[in-house]
Amino acid sequence: MKTMTAKIPKNKLEKRNKRKLVWKRIKKYKILYLFLLPAITFYFVFGYIPMYGVTLAFKDFRFDTGILMSPWVGLKYVKKFFDYFQFELLIRNSFVISFLKLIIGFPAPIILALMLNEVRINKFKRVIQTVTYLPYFVSWVVVATIFSKFLSPHQGLFNDLRMAMGEEPIFFLGFAKWFYIVIISSDIWKNIGFNSIIYLAALSSIDPMLYEASAIDGAGKWKRLIHITLPAIMPTVGILFILSMSGLLKAGYEQIILFQQPPTIPVSEVLETYSVKVGLQQGQYSYATVVGLFQSIVSLILIVVTNKIAKKVSNTSLW
């Protein structure tokens, strides 16, 4: 006991000194904290306050009382969402669209980067790069218009070609079976070039000595690809794959809203578009919050799990 009582004041003194030291350090950096103040305020207000707003999923939202004072209703809206007769359809569409984007859209820029990497004529390479980056910078509104113009049954280029070959025109955007093809191809068209930049960067950092040495050993193009190129870009592929996995339930609502037509709704309605519709267009705020919350939670689980797996398998991780 005696030793304890003797220790406490000493501890306190140390703590006080430590606190003083910390304060001193913080004071020394006060200008830098001032630089960060707008960002901290921003993330607090526009990032964290809406997180508190998810309590709305368990409340009956009333504009006059605000989120805080709106009455609790428990799982009423969660139940309503799970009981919604198209609940499974929404989940299925969300997964199918984002899964297709992942398995087709994810490798596409890697392949483009590998192809560009083989080009020895610099001017040609630069022109192709400049052109393929362009669609990334125009809005989905423009891309959707261009696509519907080309796919239109009336004077659309594709149907002109079909008719020239003596076939009937097709209303591509109006049929469910064409919808996914249009969504995936427009996604690739818009993003392939820009997404290839990171892989090109990874490719350019490979030591050319490795290729020379392997050529001397008699390795062909294919072998060099498998044993040198692919392993070298694997960490980059890993990180980007984790990032895409976290978006597995985010099918890209801008794009879908713009391409959606009444006849394709059964295959195109996803969690995000549904949440925009019931929330922003019909004003069912609490119900739409449930939809959004469901999506956020699944995304969070996906990113944490993928990150863990990636860490174990390949030693790459986001944090």
In the range 127-156, which residues lie near other proteins by CB under 8 A?
A: 127-135, 137-142, 144-146, 149-150, 155
Give the nearer residue to other proteins in terms of CB position, either 86 or 130: 130
Q: Can you read off the two tokens belonging to residue 187?
A: 């996604």
- Within 8 A by CB and 6+ apart from 45, the residues are none
Give the nearer residue to other proteins in terms of CB position, either 102 or 318: 318
Confirm or reject binding of residue 221 to other proteins (CB under 8 A): yes
Least distance (Å) from other proteins to the CB of residue 30? 9
Confirm or reject binding of residue 251 to other proteins (CB under 8 A): no
Number of residues in the chain: 319
In the range 25-54, which residues lie near other proteins by CB under 8 A?
A: 25-26, 29, 31-33, 35-36, 38-40, 42-43, 45-54
Measured CA to CA, the distance from residue 160 to residue 157 in angstroms comes to 5
The CA-atom distances, in angstroms, between 59 and each of 65, 69, 244, 276, 285 are 12, 9, 32, 19, 10
Least distance (Å) from other proteins to the CB of residue 104? 15
As a 3-state breakdown, the chain gives helix, strand, coil percent values, each rounded to 5, of 80, 0, 20
Measured CA to CA, the distance from residue 299 to residue 245 in angstroms comes to 8
Least distance (Å) from other proteins to the CB of residue 3? 33
Least distance (Å) from other proteins to the CB of residue 172? 15
Q: Can you read off the two tokens belonging to residue 9?
A: 């004041």
- Dihedral over Cα of 145, 146, 150, 156: its sign: positive
**Residue 275 corresponds to which amino acid?**
S
In the range 92-131, which residues lie near other proteins by CB under 8 A?
A: 112, 115-116, 118-119, 124, 127-131
Q: Can you read off the two tokens belonging to residue 173?
A: 């955007």
In the range 52-81, which residues lie near other proteins by CB under 8 A?
A: 52-54, 56, 61, 66-67
Confirm or reject binding of residue 84 to other proteins (CB under 8 A): no
In the range 253-312, which residues lie near other proteins by CB under 8 A?
A: 254, 258, 272, 275-276, 279-281, 285, 288-289, 291-293, 295-296, 299-300, 303
